[in-house]
Chain A
């Protein structure tokens, strides 16, 4: 009897806990699930009443349209050729633009911040303790404040409407935080292990590559993820710096799906899903390092 009670209540508790967790997860994920569902529906089903969560007639035509750039226009039941270029035609181009500026700005941010952090923690010079905190303050200034000064600088440099303007713009907003993060991380690496390597016969460069970088890897991964998320999700800089369709990034480009009289929800949702995918995959692949990275930085920072 007592045995049964002992086993019964914990089991019930466990079930309740899982029900609770599942419902919270469902609520949080619902917009994403709904977007996925809509993107897989044919036009006729999108506004069907009652709404369906799992499409009755599943179709990949929206994805096909985005990825091939061919798009059929359904207007009031008939088909008509669109008058100008459609957003769907540019989707793959914008996707590539986003990938390029994200990777480009992240590489620059990480290389610069890692080297800067190493220097700040290992060499003695004026301001070595103030710089990291100062850079953190820089990160806290909202980007809207410096987007126009930056724009004017890009005009001077003749970089407007190019991907370079975005790469440099994103470096400006991600570098301070990446540097602070790397600095906090590097500080926690004991200098003795580098000295041990120097005595073992390594050069400064070998010490950095063989000892410091592998030890700092969790920090580098955390900083990279941060930088990629910021660059990938940016709307403001893309909106201000770029004006030709060819050079837009995804975030700004996808907004063009709202223009005109007709909003193709299926297409828009498919675009949103494709836009979310890279970051979601990245996150899942690296989240273990992310937690370790931020944790290690936080302890010492």
Chain B
């Protein structure tokens, strides 16, 4: 089922939480709403679920507008961040409740609950109460409760945030598999960019109630639409240098750095921000016109990589990711270089990418 949001606005009293959100979630895709805390992800999800009024705009499932439809008439399922299991009911009754209130025959409920419990490997827990389960088990029950009804749209609000790091990685894969089995449109909320990158078909990056960019994980990573997206996606985060563009070169302190083609064109002495990922930087043996010189102030071992922090002139820092075998020491003077095709250039005033044109 395709979900379309048209100019969605949400206000709580005088606070504008969502501004003109336009998104189309294609049928059967796994789409992630990604953004920092407080950007309005949960609010948007709750509006799709029908739990929150729409201040302005329209939500359509397929061709049908659902603005006024009660949650139970939308054939959706939702996994809450807090799981929201029914505390007084056993796992079995938690899973079956949605079918029971819809008047499904007992035998069919029994069957559906059994099937879901087997898929999620919680069949040995069916007679326990939620309080007697671990966090990971509760999360499975919450997923199971959502899966049991075969919803058209599957909504998940940070379902992995209460789990430990290892379980989170396992569950990422499982959620992705469930999505493929379910045949439903999945809308997934997270503030974890890694989760978004690994699981999604499409990512909507949000900030302060505005959708910043909507695209595939590869697009938001390699062609960020603005400074916010560039800084939010990718780990370790992108380096930013403020400067000006003159005659196709980026001027920062004394350095004149090469730039890729900028299709939109620029004013003379255009104020801009250069963005380059730590992975795209290398150390050069000798200084040159297209290198930046600085001193190593910190070395962190990440495992197979090292993250090196370089102090440049003018209080600016850059992080450079190198292979762990490379020997570097604190205090070393180094020359940093990059491939012009792999940098991002943003307009200082608007924050928009100048590469996109």
- A residues contacting B by CB (< 8 A) are 190, 192-193, 195-203, 206, 210-211, 214-215, 217
Seed contacts A196-B84, A203-B72; 4 additional CB < 8 Å A-B pairs: A195-B78, A197-B97, A210-B101, A217-B88
Q: How far is the CA of A202 from the CA of B87 in the complex (A)?
A: 16
Residues 73-110 of B, flagged 1 when their CB comes within 8 A of A and 0 if not, give: 01011101010111111000000011001100000000
- In the complex, A32 Cα to B70 Cα: how many Å? 59
> Which residues of chain B come closer than 8 Å to A211, judged between CB atoms?
86, 88
B contact residues, range: 20 to 34
Q: How far is the CA of A199 from the CA of B46 in the complex (A)?
A: 11
Q: Which residue of A lies closest to B97 (CB)?
A: A200
Known: A193-B87, A195-B71, A214-B88. A200 touches B101 (CB 8 A): yes
State which of A192, A206, A214, A217 has its C-beta within 8 Å of the C-beta of B80.
A192
Complex contact B101–A202 (CB within 8 A): yes
A201 interface neighbour in B49, B72, B78, B87, Cβ under 8 Å: B72
B51 proximal to A (CB < 8 A): yes
Residue B355 at the chain A interface, CB threshold 8 Å: no
Chain A binding site: helix, strand, loop or mixed by DSSP?
A: helix
Query: CA A247 – CA B80 in complex, angstroms?
Result: 56
Chain A CB within 8 A of B306 CB: no
Contact between B72 and A190, CB atoms less than 8 A apart: no
- Complex CA distance for A211 and B88, rounded to whole angstroms: 8
Which A residues lie within 8 Å of B145 (CB)? 196, 200
Q: Indicate if the CB atoms of A199 and B49 lie closer than 8 Å.
A: yes
A198 contacts across to B, CB distance below 8 A: 51, 70-72
**Given A193-B87, A206-B101, A214-B88, A200 contacting B72 (CB threshold 8 A):** yes
Q: Can you pick out 15 interface pairs between chain A and chain B where the beta carbons lie within 8 Å of each other?
A: A192-B84, A193-B84, A195-B84, A196-B85, A196-B86, A197-B101, A198-B51, A198-B71, A199-B71, A199-B77, A200-B149, A201-B102, A211-B88, A215-B87, A217-B88
B101 A196 Cβ-Cβ under 8 A: no
Of A195, A198, A199, most B-chain CB atoms within 10 Å:
A199
A-B pair count, CB < 8 Å, reads 65
- Contact partner of A193 (CB less than 8 A), chosen from B49, B51, B76, B86, is B86
A196 lies within 8 A of B80 (CB): yes
Docked Cα-Cα span, A184 to B85, in Å, equals: 21
CB-CB nearest 8 A-B residue pairs: A200-B98, A192-B84, A214-B88, A196-B84, A201-B72, A202-B101, A198-B71, A199-B71
* Residues in B neighbouring A215, C-beta threshold 8 A: 86-88
**Residues of B with C-beta under 8 A to A203:** 72, 101
Query: Distance in Å from the Cβ of B331 to the closest Cβ of chain A?
Result: 53
- Bound Cα distance from A214 to B93, whole angstroms: 14
Shortest beta-carbon distance from B285 to chain A in Å: 59
Q: How far is the CB of A296 from chain B (nearest CB, A)?
A: 12
Q: Which residues of B contact A190 (CB under 8 A)?
A: 82, 84
Identify which of B72, B86, B87 contacts A199 (C-beta below 8 A).
B72
Contact indicator A201/B84 (Cβ below 8 Å): no
Q: How far is the CB of A131 from chain B (nearest CB, A)?
A: 21
| Minimal beta-carbon separation of B80 from chain A (angstroms) | 5
CA gap between A211 and B86 in the complex, in Å: 7
Which residues from A are CB-within-8-Å of B89? 214
